[in-house]
Amino acid sequence: MTIKSTARAAKKISYLRTNVLGRKREPVEREVEVETEEEVMELTTSNTELVTETLVEREKLIDDCLYLYDTAPEKLNHLQKDFHKIFLEYWLNNPLPSGFKSLDASQPWLFYWIGNAFKTLNPNWLNTDQQNRIIDKLWYISPEGGPFSGGKHQLPHLAANYASINSIALCHDINNSIELNKNAIYGWLVSLKTPDGAFLTTRPVGERDVRGVYTALSISSLLGIMDSNLTQNVTNFLISCQSYEGGFGGCPNDEAHGGYTFCAVASLALLNALDKINIEALLSWCSSRQSKEEKGLNGRSNKLVDGCYSFWVGGTAAILEAYGYGVCIDKDALKQYILKCCQTEKSPGLRDKPGTQADFYHTNYVLAGLSICEHSFSAKGSSPLDLIAIPRVEAPEVEAINPIYGITVQDVHNFATRHNESFQLPNLSMKV
């Protein structure tokens, strides 16, 4: 303990020195105390001598996390479900302040994040009235029932369609009354396809990256409309986005990134093409996202841990696990980060990291990440629509998430049963 606290004190001094003197720009050498044998066994970046912006930020976060691991009250050994329910229920029942105009083009995402987080906590909490309100609002925005827009009077957008379809899947009680315009969605998806195997997020000016690919394939596979017009060349585009580090970037040559890696790997699972990439490098990269001190996952090399990567990277690991490549992350450690660093006693909802506020996005993806920690995954002999999740802890705190779709296993199943014709036929479950 004394050795550890000396090391911590030294870190604090270096932090103060670099921060009180203004924002660090130039790397500085720092003195390292003579290492005792015990300390040598504790290998961290702080054993090195060069302090840069990256290290200063990380050491601050490590201090914050270690403090929480030392002092967190016993109740944070469990998910404070009823407490988080308050946060989500409040926003299901009240209008959003005017500052939310920044999400004016992402309105279906609000329903997905809030509704999915709610159902991940307890599948029965999202009542029929709330489900009706989700559907009413989606059909107010997009009265044709697809393709869906980010808000009323806006153009259709891939991200909005993904969030809308996932939100509809949350509304299983009223599923039978919902009619989706599959033909229009299909025609629109085809119009976004680029010859190199990617998709534009919207037309005429939109991004062309693996996010677009994932959202297009997620939607079309759920609806049973994923055919060769949509899948042609896509695997090649995805392969070209795998970085030398093992993870995937948004476009060819981009830096490996947790969010884009999830999009690429989930897409490859839907294309039944995981064997076309460098799996070994991907497993190494995924496992490298986790660090011993913080226990959580980051999204890129030398970036800070963030609760949302519990799903983006954790979900990637779960997909790899499901397809027989083994478990590459420490789920128990990640669960500790989620319980102790992403929730607090004081305010409900889940957050990115110590020092930040809870929001819808992080609440959803942190809870989905917790589900990854609490389940084992298998896709043996089953379609992605029926991925198997088995609890690996006694009494899981949250529902089983289908890591390919980011909604619960049950919701994927129910949605496909209702809206995907090839899924409804026995022995003909989706084959690509």
Q: Which of 257, 289, 340, 353 is catalytic?
A: 257
Q: How far is the CB of 41 from other proteins (least distance, A)?
A: 6
Instruction: For residue 13, state whether it binds other proteins (rule: CB under 8 A).
Output: no
Q: What angle do CA 112, 339, 327 make, to 5 degrees?
A: 80
Q: Which is nearer to other proteins, 224 or 307 (CB)?
A: 307
Provide CB contacts within 8 A for 139, sequence distance 6+. Answer: 145
What is the DSSP secondary structure assignment for residue 204, as one 8-state letter?
S
**DSSP letter string over 137-165?**
HHHHH-TTS-S-BSSTT--B-HHHHHHHH
Q: Tell which positions 272-291 bind other proteins, by CB under 8 A.
A: 283-284, 286-288, 290-291
Instruction: For residue 326, state whether it binds other proteins (rule: CB under 8 A).
Output: yes
Instruction: For residue 137, state whether it binds other proteins (rule: CB under 8 A).
Output: yes
Residue 303 is among the residues annotated as catalytic for this protein = yes
- Write down the residue that tokens 């303990």 correspond to: 1
Provide CB contacts within 8 A for 359, sequence distance 6+. Answer: 349, 351
Q: How far is the CB of 224 from other proteins (least distance, A)?
A: 28
Q: How far is the CB of 80 from other proteins (least distance, A)?
A: 24
Strand positions, DSSP E, 253-411: 375-378, 388-391, 401-402, 407-408
- Write down the residue that tokens 């022995």 correspond to: 427
Q: How far is the CB of 431 from other proteins (least distance, A)?
A: 28
Instruction: For residue 49, state whether it binds other proteins (rule: CB under 8 A).
Output: yes
**In 224-308, alpha helices (H):** 228-231, 234-240, 258-270, 279-288
Q: Which is nearer to other proteins, 113 or 186 (CB)?
A: 113
Provide CB contacts within 8 A for 229, sequence distance 6+. Answer: 190, 193
Q: For other proteins, which residue of 14, 164, 201, 261 counts as binding (CB under 8 A)?
A: 201
Per CB under 8 A, the segment of 2-10, 109-117, 168-176, 401-409 that binds other proteins is: 109-117
Q: How far is the CB of 345 from other proteins (least distance, A)?
A: 26
Q: For other proteins, which residue of 95, 143, 195, 381 counts as binding (CB under 8 A)?
A: 95
Q: Which is nearer to other proteins, 120 or 201 (CB)?
A: 201
Residue 413 is among the residues annotated as catalytic for this protein = no
Q: Which of 362, 365, 373, 411 is catalytic?
A: 362
CA count, 13 A, side-chain hemisphere, 125: 19
Amino acid identity of residue 270, one-letter, is L
Q: Which of 309, 361, 365, 405 is catalytic?
A: 309
List residues with catalytic annotation: 257, 300, 303, 306, 308-309, 352, 359, 362
